[in-house]
Structure 1
Amino acid sequence: MLFLKSLSPKRAENPIIPETSPAEETEPATPEKPGEPAMPPPQDSDSAPASTEEKAPLMATPHFAMAEYQCDCTGYCDGWPCAMAPELLEKIEALRCSFGRPVIITSGVRCAARNEEVGGVSWSFHKRGCAADLYCPGVSVGDLAAGAKDCGLNVLPYYSSGYIHVEI
């Protein structure tokens, strides 16, 4: 099955700042004609029921879904204690494009409780949506750090752990 990335017109204007968490996203209701009962859309016999249909993820940039930047705490917050900074998202996308291969985000925005859990500093840029931790399979930490600097990011390489911290 082929899925195409799509953004609603509202999201197309500013697709990188979430107004709601992806779990809160709903399809807009189609207006009913007066006096007509609501009818479900017709189903092909080959298609899956509408309730099991997968939605395309909300994209922050062409290569990254918003969910990749979401706080990964275990319920301290709704996943979005703050919005990701558009400048950071653009620069991480540029980094991904410069290497021409996937970049894996291991930590994006963090709530205060998650930041404390992982040993983050109290002034962490993660808590403001201005930092991310990432790695790129097949690319050394040093090369990734140099590429991130070339993209205008401030970089802290963690050589022994195999990732870099980037921030704006």
Structure 2
Amino acid sequence: MKNLYKRISRSTIITILILTSCVFLTSLSSRVPDAPEEPLVLESETQEQPLVTPADGAVSEEPVPEEPVIDSRPWASAHFLMDEYACDCAGYCDGWPTEMNPELLERIEALRMACGRPVIITSGVRCAARNAEVGGVAWSFHKKGLAADLYCPGMGVGDLAERAQETGLNILPYYSSGYIHVELPLS
């Protein structure tokens, strides 16, 4: 009975977080209609590159800002910070009980590109204590850096799952909670 209450409260919290994210993203998109997505500017890029190529291949005539805002935290890929994959426990570990598998990082980046919009990672690597807290199985791929839970605001779980499978990821959809679990296939 206690586990049932835990599941209900987790589902409620996740639903509230997803709804809040959707409302926030909707309010942002309604304020700036048809605004082009801001390009990611890395430290290695110089201002001598006046044109930016968006994901759809079109070239923007907009110049790169004179002083671009650069996030100095480490990037896992073009659209994801390493922090997004870190264990979100309450201090049981340093955030990195294991490393994320580079192939998983590549496939999640490919998924983000296939979606054409932000993908939100809700759980990357987990320490054993965090895995137990969220009700993860003892053999969880999260503990090995081989799995992540994610969702894409404005995209249904089924569509996201289909795109994830197209990138070569194994998936476990959680329709009632609004996210999917992705992991690398066993070799």
Do they superpose with TM above 0.5?
yes
Q: Identity over aligned residues, as a percent? A: 69
Q: Is 2:42 aligned against 1:5? A: yes
Aligned residues: 122
CA distance in 2, matches of 1:66, 1:55: 12
Answer 1 or 2: which has greater strand percent. 1
Contact kept? 1:133, 1:165, Cα under 8 Å: yes
1:40: which partner in 2? none
Q: Which has the higher helix share?
A: 2
Please say which structure displays the higher CA radius of gyration: 1
Match of 2:118 in 1: 102
1:145 and 1:67 map into 2 onto residues whose CA distance is 23
Contact 1:94-1:151 within 8 A present in 2 as well: yes
TM-score by length of 2: 0.62
Q: SS of the counterpart of 2:76?
A: strand
Unaligned runs of 5+ in 2: 1-39, 45-69
Query: How far apart, in 2, do the equivalents of 1:58 and 1:161 lie?
Result: 30
2:167 to 125, 143, 151: 151
Q: Give, as a single letter, the amino acid of the residue that structure 2 aligns with 1:5.
A: L
Q: 1:62 aligned to 39, 63, 78, which one?
A: 78
Q: Deviations over 1:68-108 (max 9, x none)?
A: 00000010000000000000000000000011100000000
Structure 1: stretches of 5+ with no match in the other structure: 8-53
Question: Which of 146, 156, 167 does residue 140 from structure 1 map onto?
Answer: 156
Deviation at 1:56, TM superposition (A): 1.6
Separation in 2 of the partners of 1:73 and 1:5?
Answer: 29
* Structure 1 residue ranges (4+ consecutive) displaced by more than 2 angstroms after TM superposition: 3-7
Match of 1:123 in 2: 139
Q: In the alignment, residue 119 of structure 2 is paired with which amino acid? A: V
Q: Secondary structure at the match of 1:60?
A: coil
* Aligned counterparts of 1:157 and 1:68: Cα–Cα separation in 2: 20
Structure-to-structure mapping, 1:16-27, within 5 angstroms: none
RMSD value over aligned CA atoms?
Answer: 1.9
Residues 4 and 56, structure 1, Cα contact 8 Å, conserved in 2:
no
Q: What's the CA shift string for 1:13-39, capped at 9, x where partnerless? A: xxxxxxxxxxxxxxxxxxxxxxxxxxx
